[in-house]
């Protein structure tokens, strides 16, 4: 799978729940956010489980991708989920068809 294939699959998986999300990640995964760094599938599963449970009703339907740019193994995603998050960005490093590194930042307004 190309980097674009992996990211598009990840975007489709997000509204489906934790198990489809986790399929896109490498076992060596590291996710860096403003609040913490999560290493490995167990920590990342816990992070996403907590995150998904905390999302307000209508959040998934409000997600709108503004830009997805891919250069080899690297991808940047700019998105919003108004009114909750007017600006968000993720970066991804994809190797061998799996996300190895991800960063996430959001402006909550």
The domain that holds 78 is classified in CATH as: 3.10.450.50
pLDDT of residue 15: 86
For residue range 16-72, list pLDDT tens digits in order.
889 999 999 999 999 999 999 999 999 999 999 999 999 999 999 999 999 999 999
pLDDT of residue 94: 98
DSSP letter assigned to residue 14? G
For residue range 81-103, list pLDDT tens digits in order.
999 999 999 999 999 999 999 99
| Structural domain for 97, as ranges | 3-107
Contact 50, 80 (CB under 8 A): no
Q: How many domains does the chain have?
A: 1
Helix ranges, 1-109 (H): 3-13, 18-22, 40-54, 59-62
């Amino acid at each position: 799978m190309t980097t674009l294939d992996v990211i598009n699959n990840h975007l489709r998986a997000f509204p489906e729940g934790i198990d489809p999300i986790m399929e896109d990640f490498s076992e060596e995964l590291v996710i860096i956010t403003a609040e913490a760094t999560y290493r490995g599938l167990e920590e990342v599963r816990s992070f996403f489980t907590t995150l998904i449970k905390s999302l307000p009703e209508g959040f998934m339907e409000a997600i709108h991708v503004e830009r997805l740019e891919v250069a080899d193994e690297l991808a940047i995603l700019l998105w919003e989920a108004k009114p909750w998050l007017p600006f968000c960005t993720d970066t991804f490093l994809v190797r061998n068809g799996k996300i190895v590194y991800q960063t996430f930042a959001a402006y909550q307004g």
